[in-house]
Structure 1
């Protein structure tokens, strides 16, 4: 089981590279492949010329290729189904809120992005595929996923310490079937497991760039930021390179060569 991800600025060809590799592995290597895009404005269905859903869908014409696109509404709905009751149990243990509070939290900035990494982790742990190929959104959005997950991990530690300070007071106020401290600890452990997956030897991260100075600089920053999360970049893919130009494109090729 392995996870292969493609990173880069918008428009460099991450989705094209992801789809090409997915088709190649499924057809030439006979691997069962899931191609997942977490771009909330995806184009994967257009690239594959297939009608995709928010759950793994077999792609017509390929024996072992499955693909899925996520939309924000689906992500929020699945977050509420998985974590909504837990969040309510924790918050309602010390604040007078009703279950409508779940809808408020579900719409908070960062919730959808954070849950995307959980969905990826869930698919990876399920082990139903030989390879999962992850087509990330544009660099600013994809790196934000990691930052939000890190902040969640750090904040859960703060939340545990805060809850311990309030625990005696809360226990005097009410007795609950759930253990908020256990739930918060579980969320923190889950965030840690997600980072362990991304930093493991089973994850291969590739950066897609074009031979342009802006794309190169963004790629360099992506590599530095991934390294800060202990995610090792396995390679850099230079897309849209002019190898044999006609006369009208010679200047462009010289500029590309100078960047490379």
Structure 2
């Protein structure tokens, strides 16, 4: 095998060229540069697509910082662009709005609460339902660190199983639910058919999205990492989990790479370069069929962070 230093530099051009892509996930260990990479990716995509939406699903949002513009749960046009939009959502919090304090939403929320994990899944489904009604050419997800991301990718199957369980309860208890709603004077709007219809509609959305997530023509996952042991280990775990979920992944971005310079005299820098080279070699060996892109460690911080510190 050729030394990784001799291999041609990779790029994300294959993502730009794949015009069929609808969903692009960017994920990895905390602190490796996911937001920076997903922001750059969305900017590059905006040059070749009619419209791009970047969504942050990390509770510790950084998109607003990266673009120096306040984003909310409503898609907002990014300053300086005509076709790039951004929004920040938190699947663990949004459920408060999905299940209100009264009416049908509250009843659905109560039903969902009996099934572990379905509350977040339903929130995610509502967000996807909203996104699907908007006409974006491609959607980029700036995800939370690996563990949260894997849970997010499990939501379609969690919701599917949860709704199947609710449907089985409906079949068991027949018209009991309608009798209860009638007893409390809730009327037809809160009957079994109305609530189950709402849940079925959500199930249709999640089934459609689940199929799209597993279609490599429509969905891909880009793993961001740094050339260190823990990041290599977590990337391997992430790739294995994505394979288990049948989600395509064939791009790895290795960030913060130190490039060898003969004039470098610092023992610390030389030691770091030697360590990085060991892990870079392992990345190329483990993922020889992946498109690997290396990004250099820059001598200064990004512009937005320097402005915040000044």
1:117: how far off? Answer: 4.8
Aligned to 1:95: none
SS where residue 141 of structure 2 aligns?
strand
Aligned to 2:207: 192
Instruction: Sort the Cα spacing of 1:186 and 1:60 in 2 relative to 1 into closer, same or farther, 3 A.
Output: closer
Instruction: Sort the Cα spacing of 1:242 and 1:121 in 2 relative to 1 into closer, same or farther, 3 A.
Output: farther
Aligned to 2:77: 58
Instruction: Sort the Cα spacing of 1:222 and 1:112 in 2 relative to 1 into closer, same or farther, 3 A.
Output: same
SS where residue 66 of structure 2 aligns?
helix
Aligned to 1:94: none
The answer to whether the 8 A contact 1:160-1:185 is kept is no
Q: Distance in 1 between matches of 2:239 and 2:170?
A: 37
1:132 paired with 2:139, answer yes
The answer to whether the 8 A contact 2:118-2:158 is kept is no
Q: Distance in 2 between matches of 1:172 and 1:109?
A: 29
**How many residues matched?**
245
The answer to whether the 8 A contact 1:40-1:70 is kept is yes
- Let me know the Cα RMSD of the aligned residues: 3.0
Aligned to 1:120: 128
Equivalent residue runs for 1:100-111 within 5 Å: 111=119
Instruction: Sort the Cα spacing of 1:164 and 1:188 in 2 relative to 1 into closer, same or farther, 3 A.
Output: same
Match of 2:43 among 23, 27, 32: 23
1:54: how far off? Answer: 1.8
1:70 paired with 2:70, answer no
Q: Distance in 2 between matches of 1:170 and 1:31?
A: 48
- Cα displacement string for residues 100-146 of structure 1 (whole angstroms, at most 9, x for unaligned residues): x69x95xx9763465135413531x2352222111011111111122
* Structure 1, 67-76 or 212-221: larger mean CA deviation: 67-76
1:33 paired with 2:52, answer yes
Equivalent residue runs for 1:1-260 within 5 Å: 2-26=22-46, 28-29=47-48, 31-71=50-90, 75-80=94-99, 85-89=103-107, 111-112=119-120, 114-123=122-131, 125-170=132-177, 177=188, 178=191, 179=193, 180-200=195-215, 201-245=217-261, 246-248=264-266, 249-260=269-280
1:166: how far off? Answer: 0.7
- Provide the TM-score with structure 1 as the length reference: 0.80
1:154: how far off? Answer: 1.2
1:188: how far off? Answer: 3.2
1:160: how far off? Answer: 1.4
The answer to whether the 8 A contact 1:205-1:235 is kept is yes
Structure number with greater CO (CA < 8 Å, separation at least 6) is: 1
Instruction: Report the structure number with the largest CA radius of gyration.
Output: 2
